[in-house]
Structure 1
């Protein structure tokens, strides 16, 4: 079994395929570590996988089993006595057992945030352990939390607006003289802020987030809609299209725009080997497939 490390799982798979000189379908892959982009450069993790060919896995498992059985002579009498003794002790002790409820798995924060920019179909699968609250109670708690987060900053920001955009989405807006400073160069501060707020709001309340900072979201939507105008005409003529690599919020905007325009086509976010994201439109696959 060999270990491979790369920036993304796709790159790690490619390394494994080249090393073993065979198709991915002929390999058994165990993921030791999921890749993680981190927050502002901190906590970044690379993808680590362990790979073995399927034929070699059978030979390896056979050797391990043979080694385990040959390691020690086992007496059936001793085993039966231990089983009888354990049964006696369990019958004597009959404490009240606490009923265990199956807890649904909750996605990692990184995956949740990826889904924020991904498919609208995943909204119902993001946070599964949620205590439902009254809408006004949610607004009051979120408003209080965001106000406390920015209470000691030096930014001149107006009263932060928090309201429901729709039943599943919270709208948070930052305005004021210094609000544009929260965007940062190429929107890196906007991404960091949306990351923090989305993980908190989604995990606690099961809601999506629409974040507006000094009309940054509005300008991004206008820019991506302008870019998609000729693309929409191309899709109508040819039936398929792949956007250029898009970053963060642009992927989400493009995905929503194209799904609204082509509800009967397959529209999804894809990732290439380098980790760049783009939106793919295809007429040969429907959303139900």
Structure 2
């Protein structure tokens, strides 16, 4: 009998098969711990099994009964995209999406709220029930609050960005809606901070016809991009990257960029 640990059940089963030089159907396996991806890389658990060869006649009978559905399904890793502008242009897109009536939007918001609360029920953070409501005709507002809600933001908003991207991909693919994610008033506070900073940038653009922002950290550059594009829809507004990876925004006439 051997104890085997691996990132997934499939990998653990495969390793057991290799160590005993036999098929999985010829092993007696007990799952000690199921794998868990955790949340945003935290509290991840590997699969742990205990395996031993079974008698030849028992394995043969079991092999005849075993169906494909009973085998552990492969676990696909989550692939996160590169941190570039296109990732966020989807989240803040102004394109119209097909939606049905207000009653349908309310029903979708209720459904998303139920699913999110089930998903986050076992998380180690102390959170209040997640609230989902209709923000506008194309957007759902998802709100996280509670004692540990701020931990979902992360340094420079990196967890906020990851969570926002994952939730958007689900909501947009499933319901063709946009997402506004609010965690402990983080987005509201950041939007107000960026709006105050952009006052001087607006003055430069209005006076000179062009300007650029300072290097902005984390989610701030995406908030600034949205606000600048809303104000200067007739100008070229885009993110640029410095040699050391910092990001800033330029505003210019289309024929001058």
Q: TM-score range by the shorter chain?
A: 0.5 to 0.7
1:119 and 1:146 map into 2 onto residues whose CA distance is: 21
Residue 254 of structure 1 is matched in structure 2 by 224
2:225 and 2:188 map into 1 onto residues whose CA distance is: 16
Residue 118 of structure 2 is matched in structure 1 by 148
Q: CA RMSD in A?
A: 3.4
Residue 44 of structure 2 is matched in structure 1 by none
Alignment CA distance shift 1:250-1:156 (3 Å): same
Alignment CA distance shift 1:267-1:153 (3 Å): same
* Per-residue CA distance 1:127-173 (angstroms, 9 max, x = gap): 9xx99793133212211221111101222212211112111221111
1:118 partner SS: helix
Aligned pair count reads 179
Equivalences for residues 53-72 of structure 1 within 5 A? none
- Which runs of no fewer than 5 residues in structure 1 stay unpaired? 1-38, 41-107
Equivalences for residues 50-89 of structure 1 within 5 A? none
TM-score, scaled to structure 1 = 0.52
TM-score, scaled to structure 2 = 0.58
2:171 and 2:223 map into 1 onto residues whose CA distance is: 20
1:231 to 178, 187, 201: 201
- Which runs of no fewer than 5 residues in structure 2 stay unpaired? 1-39, 42-78
Alignment CA distance shift 1:245-1:182 (3 Å): same
Q: CA deviation at 1:197?
A: 0.9
Alignment CA distance shift 1:274-1:131 (3 Å): farther
Does residue 173 in structure 1 map to residue 170 in structure 2?
A: no
1:233 and 1:223 map into 2 onto residues whose CA distance is: 17
Q: Which has the larger radius of gyration?
A: 1
